[in-house]
Amino acid sequence: MNYRTMIAALALGASLDAQMPKFAPPVRLEAGGKLLGAERLYPSPVYHDVNGDGLADIVVGDLRGHLTVALREAGTGIPRFAAETPLNGADQRPLDFENW
């Protein structure tokens, strides 16, 4: 490796390092005093402002095709979430992605 190649490689490494985050050890989230995602089959969370209050709520899908919403409570500090409720469709019944 000549010195130009070496410098380029080092610069690429430094660039990648700068893009790597440092995460705190993971913590389990709660909603309404219960562990979020507990007893769900393959819970798949996604951030989405469901009630249009400007705060990102958490919608949780699962293997069965069900969706629940944990609304973020207003306030400062550590985000807190209300108990999960089903995400309803236009017919006011829980939205159900029909599954196998």
Partner 1 sequence: MSPQFVDFNADGHLDIVAGIFDGSPHLSRGSAAGFRPPEQILDKDGHRIVLNQFWNFAAEQWETTTRCDLPGASGKGHLTSALAFDWEGDGDFDLLLGDHKSGRVFRRVNEGTNAKSVFSTKNEPVLADGRAIDVPGTVATLRLVDWNRDGRPDLLASSMGDAYGEQSGGGVYLFLNGGSEKTPLYAAPLTLVEASPKGQAAPTRPDSGLYADIADHDGDGDLDLLVGAYSHWSIRPPVLTSEQKQRVKEIKAEQKAIEDGFDAIFDAIGKATAGLDQKAARKKSAELRAEKVEELKALTARRHAASQKLAPFDPSPKRESFIWLYENLAASPAR
Q: According to CB under 8 A, which one of 1, 2, 4, 19 is a site residue for partner 1?
A: 19
d(CA 15, CA 4): 16
Our measurement of the distance from residue 31's CA atom to the centroid of its chain's CA atoms, rounded to an integer in Å, reads 13
Q: According to CB under 8 A, which one of 6, 10, 35, 86 is a site residue for partner 1?
A: 35
Q: According to CB under 8 A, which one of 2, 3, 28, 74 is a site residue for partner 1?
A: 28
Can residue 47 be called a binding residue for partner 1 (CB under 8 A)?
yes
**Minimum distance of partner 1 from residue 29's CB (angstroms):** 5
Report the candidate in 98, 47, 45 with the shortest Cα–Cα distance to residue 72.
47
